[in-house]
């Protein structure tokens, strides 16, 4: 009827008609961050609060439906493998549909994008999810046997809300970094999130010893901060990737920091690991990318195995001995039996190189890393 008032309503699933809950941030953080949810009928949905990033929201929703299995998601065809739907005029602040597209003078342009997999595809995705859960449990069990496994950090104690909060500055953060004061940096990050930005600025350093030390400290602080506040760390990862993509500046320390953060909390930020491969095409970032990938592989080799890492095998023949050594280390840590003979061809390469362990420079040789890799693959 003309002139009839349009009432705001709760959002619903376009497949079953049931009301759906408010989308929430996924536990595992990714390059594209959209809140997601799941309907009782099996459909999943992602929220684009602006309505301008619907393409990215569609991709995230489909990948989420596939249990974060990107390879499976890319193979699926709309209609043949899954159905889609969308609910527009969604306000993510109040979690309701506003047909007038305006609420208290505020524009409402949000979209909920839905995906429901066909039964046979859903069963495949479920098997992937169960396999991933089993791999995670295995990795956690292995962590109890020694340092080569990942252990989820204990939740940081809550800070006293009545305490006088500290304010960060570039000089304060620089002094704490130079003193390797992880506790001080962590307290500062809880009080003032700008501390993360100041730490990021310290990465722009031509001296590799300082870069790697700062990157490692960022990883350690982020690991503990994320036990209570994972979002600021995810925001920092996005800024680091953006800085790496800026052709007008050198990405000094940025790639190293990404690797350090992901390696410190692969359970939350593991999806970022695959993007480190994008930096293998630039000679200026190859060493940092390989270092980051091998750091992740030290505790979660399964994450690297899920990337197209096999496209990097040719770096075993690279002119740069550091790249050759790091490549051997990476393949050893993921137990790449398919590259064993290529790795063994470097057994007599006694070129001395410097790598970084916990931010400190360590001298070794390509042959020593090859020996370690072969032992890891055959052991």
- Could you report the per-residue pLDDT of 153-175, keeping only the tens digit for each? 888 998 888 888 899 999 999 99
Range 269-289 burial, b when 16+ CB lie within 10 A, else e: bbbbbbbbbebbeeeebbbbb
- Could you report the per-residue pLDDT of 170-211, keeping only the tens digit for each? 999 999 999 999 999 999 999 998 999 999 999 998 899 999
Can you tell me the mean pLDDT for 31-57? Answer: 83
Range 222-259 burial, b when 16+ CB lie within 10 A, else e: bbbbbeeebebbbebbeebbebbeeeeeebbbbbbbbb
In the chain, the percentage of residues whose pLDDT exceeds 70 is: 90
pLDDT class for 248, splitting at 50, 70, 90? low
Residue 34 clears pLDDT 70, i.e. is over it:
yes
Lowest mean pLDDT among 83-92, 140-149, 360-369: 140-149
- Per DSSP, the chain holds a count of helices (H) and strands (E) of 15, 9
Can you tell me the mean pLDDT for 305-330? Answer: 93
Query: What rounded mean pLDDT belongs to the chain?
Result: 87
**pLDDT value for 141:** 55
Q: Closest by alpha carbon to 359, among 244, 221, 169, 243? A: 221
User: In sequence order, which residues have a C-beta less than 8 Å from that of residue 141 and are 6 or more positions away?
Assistant: 149
- DSSP annotation of 51: S
Can you tell me the mean pLDDT for 274-301? Answer: 93
Q: Are strands 110-117 and 82-91 parallel, antiparallel or unpaired?
A: antiparallel
**pLDDT value for 158:** 85
**pLDDT value for 143:** 42
Helices assigned H by DSSP within 300-337: 301-305, 321-333
Token pair for residue 301? 């080799």
Can you tell me the mean pLDDT for 74-101? Answer: 90
Residue 2 clears pLDDT 50, i.e. is over it:
no
Q: How far apart are CA 313 and CA 245, in angstroms?
A: 24
């Amino acid at each position: 009827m003309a002139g009839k008032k349009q009432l705001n309503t709760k959002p619903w699933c376009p497949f079953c008609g049931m009301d759906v809950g408010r989308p929430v941030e996924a536990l595992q953080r990714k390059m594209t961050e959209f809140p997601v949810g799941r309907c009782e009928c099996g459909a999943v949905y992602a929220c684009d609060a602006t309505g301008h990033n619907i393409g990215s929201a569609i991709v995230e929703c489909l990948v989420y439906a596939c249990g974060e299995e990107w390879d499976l998601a890319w193979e699926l065809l709309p209609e043949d493998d899954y159905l889609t739907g969308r609910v527009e005029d969604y306000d993510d602040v109040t979690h309701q549909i506003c047909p007038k597209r305006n609420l208290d003078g505020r524009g409402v342009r949000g979209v909920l994008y839905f995906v429901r997999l066909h039964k046979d595809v859903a069963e495949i995705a479920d098997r992937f999810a169960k396999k991933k859960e089993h791999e995670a449990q295995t990795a956690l069990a292995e962590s109890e046997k020694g340092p080569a496994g990942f252990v989820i950090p204990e939740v940081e104690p809550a800070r006293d809300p009545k305490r006088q909060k500290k304010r960060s500055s570039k000089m304060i953060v620089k002094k704490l970094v130079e003193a390797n004061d992880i506790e001080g940096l962590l307290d500062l990050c809880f009080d003032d999130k700008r501390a993360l930005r100041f730490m990021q600025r310290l990465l722009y350093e031509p001296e590799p010893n300082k870069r790697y030390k700062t990157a490692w400290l960022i990883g350690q602080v982020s690991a503990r901060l994320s036990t209570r506040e994972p979002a600021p760390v995810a925001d920092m990862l996005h800024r680091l990737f953006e800085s790496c993509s800026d052709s007008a500046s050198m990405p000094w320390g940025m790639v190293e920091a990404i690797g350090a953060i992901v390696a410190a909390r692969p359970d939350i930020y593991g999806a970022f690991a695959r993007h480190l491969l994008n930096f293998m095409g630039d000679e200026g970032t190859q060493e940092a990318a390989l270092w980051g990938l091998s750091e992740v592989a030290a505790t979660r080799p399964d994450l690297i195995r899920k990337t197209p890492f096999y496209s990097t095998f040719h770096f075993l023949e690279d002119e740069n001995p550091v790249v050759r050594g790091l490549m051997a280390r990476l393949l050893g840590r993921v137990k790449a039996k398919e590259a064993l003979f290529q790795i063994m061809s470097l057994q007599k390469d006694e070129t001395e190189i410097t790598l970084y362990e916990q931010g400190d420079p360590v001298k070794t040789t390509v042959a020593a890393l090859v020996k370690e890799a072969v032992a890891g693959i055959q052991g």
